[in-house]
Amino acid sequence: MRDEQTSSSDRHYLIVWALLMGALGVSLALGAAGHHGALVATIFAVAVAKAGLVLTHFMHLRLAPRLPRLILVGAVAVVVVLYLGLLPDITWVFGAPAGR
Amino acid sequence: MTASATSRHAAHAAPLLPTGRLALWWFVASEIAIFGGALTCYVLLRARHPEWGEQARHTLAGAGALNTAVLLTSSLTAVLAHAAAHRGEARRAARLLALTVLGGLVFLGVKGFEYHHELTAGFTPRAGLFWAFYFLLTGLHALHVIAGMTANAVVAVGAAKGKHLGRVELVAIYWHFVDVVWIFLFPLLYLAS
């Protein structure tokens, strides 16, 4: 019974690892395919998916109490606010050429 | 003590989350703020500097991909160590943590090779803003890898003696975070050229 539980949980992690390696392969293939905006966005989406797999299955966030998830969401929210706050100044500079 | 007072006391006495785990999640959140801030600045400036794509072509994407595979595999050994510790299999947990440390060593070796290649080619942090970001982000990440390796090694020594198996989960969580950071660094610095 204990050996069955051991192999079952270890097999689960191996499957997740295989999915992560597959996602890495997809990223590399997309990176070699070109550098259009849509491809870059897809590469980043694959990265988000990989991070999600590590967070939920390796870090066990899906089993964790609400507090750790709230803490992480709060930290990510701070970064998103930083991005949105800086976006107008850095990216949209009216009348100024890029690089100035 | 009345029955209601007893239940109130019990509710206040038992923490929702073990203190060590809560502290680690707060630490991870602070690291998200640090790396997130640096990555945010990189992404915003990258959008205004399309010429950085040409600079990024000089990074070694193959080495970056190898390092991604190494870190993903070391995350696997870390979570297997956690599972073994949870089952009370102390020696197996120690061996898996040792493999995790080995993964970190391989990562640093490959990173060192990349740095040597780039620096000898003249791509130093002063070569331009892209390279300043590249060395800042990867250097900061490498420091975190070293810290994670140290923590894993210390806990592995204890686990080999059957002590403090609860710490295996904590170092494993930190190691997974280091892996997640690299999951984002790799496409942003190497692939999105």
Say whether B76 and A40 touch across the interface (CB within 8 A): no
What local confidence, expressed as pLDDT, does residue A18 receive?
97
- Euclidean distance between the first and the last CA atom of chain B, given in angstroms as a whole number: 69
Select from A9, A71, A78 the Cβ nearest to the Cβ of B83.
A9
Contact between residue B114 and residue B63 where contact means Cβ atoms under 8 Å apart: yes
Mean pLDDT of B172-185: 97
How much is the pLDDT for A95? 43
- Is the pLDDT at B35 greater than 70? The verdict is yes
Q: How confident is the model at residue B24 (pLDDT cuts 50, 70, 90)?
A: very high
Cβ within 8 Å of B, A 28-47: 28, 30-31, 35, 40, 43-44, 46-47
Measured CA to CA in angstroms, residue B6 lies from B1, B3, B16, B17 at distances of: 6, 5, 18, 21
- Quote the mean pLDDT of chain B: 91
Q: Are A57 and A10 in contact (CB under 8 A)?
A: no
A25 to chain B, any CB pair closer than 8 A? The answer is no
ipTM of the complex: 0.87
Amino acid code (one letter) for B28: V
CB contact under 8 A, A24 and B37: no
Question: Which chain B residue shows the shortest CA-CA distance from A88?
Answer: B44
The alpha-helical segments, DSSP class H, found in chain B are 3-13, 19-48, 52-56, 61-86, 90-120, 129-160, 166-186
Using the predicted structure, report yes or no on whether residue B181 has a pLDDT greater than 50.
Answer: yes
pLDDT score for B7 = 52
Check A76 against B32: CB less than 8 A apart: yes
Mean pLDDT computed over A88-95: 67
Residue A90: predicted pLDDT: 78
The per-residue pLDDT for range B112-165, each reduced to its tens digit, is: 999 999 999 999 999 999 999 999 999 999 999 999 999 999 999 999 999 999
Residue of B187 and B18 predicted with greater confidence? B187
Going by pLDDT thresholds of 50, 70 and 90, the confidence category of residue A59 is: very high
User: Which of B61, B84, B18 lies closest to A9, judged by CA?
Assistant: B84
The token duo for A23 is 């996602």
Which chain A residues have a beta carbon less than 8 Å from that of B83? Answer: 6, 9-10, 13
Verify whether the Cβ–Cβ distance B186 to A54 is below 8 Å: no
Cβ atoms of B93 and B165 within 8 Å: the answer is yes
Mutate one of B19, B59, B72 to test the A interface: name it (highest A CB count within 10 A).
B72
- Residues of B with CB below 8 A from A20's CB? 72
pLDDT for A64 = 84
What is the pTM (predicted TM-score) of this model? 0.89
Nearest Cα to B68, choosing from B174, B182, B191, B192? B182
Task: Please tell me the predicted confidence (pLDDT) of residue A20.
Answer: 97
Check pLDDT > 80 for residue B171.
Answer: yes
Question: CA of B12 to nearest chain A CA: how many angstroms apart?
Answer: 16
Closest CA to B100 of B81, B118, B83: B81
Q: Which residue type does B52 have?
A: W
Identify the residue among B99, B188, B191, B193 best suited for mutation to test binding to A, counting A beta carbons within 10 A and taking the highest: B191
Output Rg (C-alpha) for chain B, integer angstroms.
21
- Contact, A9 vs A54, CB < 8 A? no
CA distance B186 to A24: 10
- Under the banding of pLDDT at 50, 70 and 90, the label for residue A87 is confident
Give the mean model confidence (pLDDT) for residues B17-34.
91
CB contact under 8 A, A90 and B48: yes
| Residue of A5, A17, A50 lying closest to B76 (CB–CB) | A17
The mean pLDDT of B5-24, rounded to a whole number, is 67
Q: Which of B61, B98, B60, B75 is nearest to B179 (CA)?
A: B75
Tens of pLDDT, residue by residue over A8-36, are 889 999 999 999 999 999 999 988 887 66
